[in-house]
């Protein structure tokens, strides 16, 4: 009986140990299984997002816009530079061919008087004597001088007007009006100049034209002469 009782207890202990071992093994297997399942579950969606999400292209576009990517922004800068060059060339091509007329390329003359309402009106004419096309823009300069070259009276003043660019091909002319009050009407003091000096717009050298139209006002009432802007033609 004592033997049977001891054997029974040993069998019971062995069975209990087996049960506990089985329980520990089961718990260990559950823990090991849950670890790989979590890794697999996280990696799966991440892999799908990388394959389907277009987000990888966004940083490149953003870098080009913000200048964060040198390689992306450099071609854009080069294109802009070429476009700017094209625009500058276009603007330059609208500039009149030949540029302004220089004094050495012009011939000056004074046309016939066209009096009216107590005024004397003369066209001061510049003709392109060169072989190239050039332009005049604005007012001429002018001064009456005596035989010794001394100035007679004040410089003519500018009358109101809107300057335009006059293009002169070889042989073509432009004219500006020279106007002053008739001294016999105004009562101004007069002098008779020997010549009229004419300076083309934006030039310093002068052209000398013999003056044969008689006395001009130099002081007193209505003694000022006036010049208008250049217009195409001879004013005849």
DSSP 7-57: HHHHHHHHHHHHHHHHHHHHHHHHHHHHHHHHHHHHHHHHHHHHHH--TTH
Q: What is the pLDDT of residue 71?
A: 36
Domain extent listing, the chain: 2-93, 103-232
The strand ranges marked E within 170-206 are: 173-181, 189-191, 195-199
Span of 1-10, 103-112, 192-201 with lowest mean pLDDT: 1-10
Contact between 165 and 223 (Cβ < 8 Å)? no
Which CATH number applies to 103-232: 1.20.120, 2.60.40, 1.10.10, 1.25.40? Answer: 2.60.40
Sign for the CA dihedral angle at 186, 188, 192, 198 comes to negative
Confidence of residue 97 (pLDDT cuts 50, 70, 90): low
Mean pLDDT of 155-178: 96
Q: In this predicted model, what pLDDT tens digit does every residue of 213-224 receive, in sequence order?
A: 999 999 988 889
Average pLDDT, the chain: 72
Mean pLDDT of 139-159: 95
Mean pLDDT of 84-88: 27
Q: Facing residues of 75 across strands? A: none
pTM of the model: 0.59
Contact between 155 and 120 (Cβ < 8 Å)? no
Count Cα atoms within 13 angstroms, Cβ side, for 91: 6
């Amino acid at each position: 009986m004592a033997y049977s009782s001891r054997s029974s207890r040993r069998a019971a202990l062995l069975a209990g140990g087996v049960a506990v071992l089985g329980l520990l093994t089961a718990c260990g297997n559950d823990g090991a299984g849950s670890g790989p399942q979590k890794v697999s579950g996280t990696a799966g969606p991440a892999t799908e997002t990388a394959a389907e999400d277009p987000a990888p292209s966004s940083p490149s576009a953003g870098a080009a816009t913000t200048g964060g990517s040198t390689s992306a922004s450099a071609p854009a800068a080069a294109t802009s530079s070429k476009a700017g060059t094209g625009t500058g060339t276009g603007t330059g091509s609208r500039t009149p061919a030949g540029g302004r007329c220089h004094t050495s390329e012009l011939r000056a003359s004074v046309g016939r008087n066209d009096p009216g309402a107590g005024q004397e009106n003369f066209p001061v004419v510049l003709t392109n004597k060169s072989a190239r096309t050039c332009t005049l823009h604005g007012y001429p300069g002018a001064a009456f001088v005596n035989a010794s070259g001394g100035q007679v009276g004040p410089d003519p003043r500018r009358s109101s007007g809107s300057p335009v660019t006059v293009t002169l091909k070889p042989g073509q002319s432009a004219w500006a009006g020279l106007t002053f009050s008739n001294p016999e009407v105004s009562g101004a003091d007069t002098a008779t100049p020997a010549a009229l000096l004419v300076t083309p717009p934006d030039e310093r050298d002068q052209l000398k034209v013999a003056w044969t139209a008689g006395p001009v006002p130099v002081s007193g009432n209505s003694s000022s002469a006036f010049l208008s802007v250049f217009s195409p033609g001879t004013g005849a």
